[in-house]
Structure 1
Amino acid sequence: MKRTHLPLNALRVFDAAARHLSFTRAADELAVTPAAVGQQIRALEDVLGVVLFRRTPKGLELTDEASAGLEALRSGFLHFEDAVRAMQAGQSSHVYTIAAPREFFSAWLAPRLAEFRKANPEVRFSLVSDEDADFTEANLDLAVRWAEGPGDLEGTALGETGRVTVGEGCWIAWPGDTEPEGDDCESPPLSVGDAGQALAAAAAGMGRARVPVLLAQSWLESGRLQHLGEHAESRHGYWLVAPTPQWRQKKVKALVAFLAG
């Protein structure tokens, strides 16, 4: 059903004038002039087709039509205030919903979230494995994406960009490097689903792979790799992203600062 357009500003002025029974005191409350209050009231009367106030020797009085709708109007404003508080509550929530590639979560993100939670024990995390999940549908706060930049979202790069070669032998293909070149193999003998699987395969001696530097460094530091090979520049990197409203939330700013610091 199509909603009727509501003159909310004029209704707010009417509420103030009805409480004070004075355009002057209503103007003081709303930080406008009495003339502006009178203009809003007249415009509202034109829209509604009723008279809202009458002037008497004792001052302003509400008409029966105005009194009939006043209680419902004030109840509606209270509901608006409740709605605003509910929307703002997300900024103080301690639950983070984050989408990230599985290999990135296990190798890099998980230990850092654990450190963040040590300093903020009230924090809870909900992880989504689909890095391309829709922010609205998945109710995401943040996402980590292997991309050339943040695109239409707000974002910051995490760590060093580029890729590095690990392992020896024929190339291992994965979605971030689907057609490796530069060896004698006619085609990659092994194709895997993500960079983490490519790293595991290379570490197991099943070939070599070009994988994100950030992941390979994490594996090297944990002893799962013995050395890193040639570094290759790449426009791709791991980006921490979110739409502007989420990016500006206090809780999101705190986690972004920690992860990108």
Structure 2
Amino acid sequence: MKRTHLPLNGLRVLDAAARYLSFTRAADELAVTPAAVGQQIRTLEDVLGVVLFRRTAKGLELTPEGEAGLNALRRGFLEFEEAVRAMQSQQSSKRLTIAAPRDFTAKWLAARLADYGRTDAELGFAMVSSDESLDFTQANLDLAICLAADKGEHEGIELGGRDYVTVGRADSPERDIGWPGCPIEGGEAVITVADAGLAIDAAAAGLGRATVPALLAEADIAAGRVQALARQEGANGYWLIAPVPQWRQKKVKALVAALTA
């Protein structure tokens, strides 16, 4: 059903002027001039087709038409306030829904979320795979991580740059382990796996060498599971992204700051 256009500014001025029976005091409350209050009331009267106030020897008074709608108007404003509080309630929630590729979660994100979670017992995380297309509205996401050339249409910040590393064991055969999007030079991979995380695990198992985002291989290199054999710059990097409303949420800003510290 199409909703009637409501002159909300004029109705707000009407409420204030009716409470004080004074355009001057209403103007003080609304931080405008008395002339602006008078203009809003005249405009509202034109829109509604009724007279709302009369000036008498005793001062300003409401007409019956003006008084007839006040109770419902004030109930409506209370409902608006409840609606705003309901919409803002999620700002106080410390639960975040995050979409990320499975290998990124396993190799990099999970450990950092665990560290961040230890800073506040009220923090909670819901993880969603972003291996398919992202829909922030449908999945009710707060933040997403994607491997891409840029942040696209959303707000975002890049994690770790475009550094790629080729990893393997000292005794690994000189054959490439491929995964979707991997920058292999000189033809097709001899072995292919589903993602960069599995490529690192295959290299650690001695199946060959894998060229992956350096961010994903940091922990395995530090643990000695694989060695860094070569480095190069890739076309894509990992991006933290979200539409503007989500990006501005206090809890999202805090998480982004923690992940990029």
Pairwise same-fold verdict (TM > 0.5)? yes
The whole-number CA distance in structure 2 between the counterparts of 1:205 and 1:150 is 35
Aligned to 1:207: 208
Contact 1:150 1:239 in 2 (8 A): yes
1:205-231, Cα deviation, whole Å (9 max, x unpaired): 223221111111121123332x11111
Within 5 A, what are the aligned runs for 1:51-130?
51-130=51-130
Could you tell me the TM-score, scaled by structure 1's length? 0.91
The whole-number CA distance in structure 2 between the counterparts of 1:182 and 1:13 is 72
SS in 2 for 1:235: coil
Tell me by how many angstroms 1:74 deviates: 1.0
What amino acid maps onto 1:76 in structure 2? G
The whole-number CA distance in structure 2 between the counterparts of 1:91 and 1:109 is 23
Aligned to 2:223: 222
1:100-148, Cα deviation, whole Å (9 max, x unpaired): 1111111111111111111111101011112542112211111111112
Contact 2:103 2:195 in 1 (8 A): yes
Contact 2:130 2:145 in 1 (8 A): no
Contact 1:161 1:214 in 2 (8 A): no
**2:175 corresponds to 1:170:** yes
Contact 1:156 1:240 in 2 (8 A): yes
1:59-100, Cα deviation, whole Å (9 max, x unpaired): 222222222211111111112112222222222211011111
Aligned to 1:31: 31
Contact 2:151 2:157 in 1 (8 A): yes
Contact 1:169 1:206 in 2 (8 A): no
The whole-number CA distance in structure 2 between the counterparts of 1:259 and 1:139 is 21
Contact 1:142 1:242 in 2 (8 A): yes
Could you tell me the TM-score, scaled by structure 2's length? 0.91
CA-based RMSD: 1.7
Contact 1:148 1:237 in 2 (8 A): yes
Q: Which segments of structure 1 move beyond 6 Å, counting only runs of 4 or more?
A: none
Structure 1: state its 5+ residue gaps: none
Contact 1:96 1:125 in 2 (8 A): yes
Tell me by how many angstroms 1:41 deviates: 0.6
Tell me by how many angstroms 1:19 deviates: 0.8
What amino acid maps onto 1:136 in structure 2? T
Identity of aligned residues (%): 63
Aligned to 2:184: 180
SS in 2 for 1:12: helix
Structure 2: state its 5+ residue gaps: none
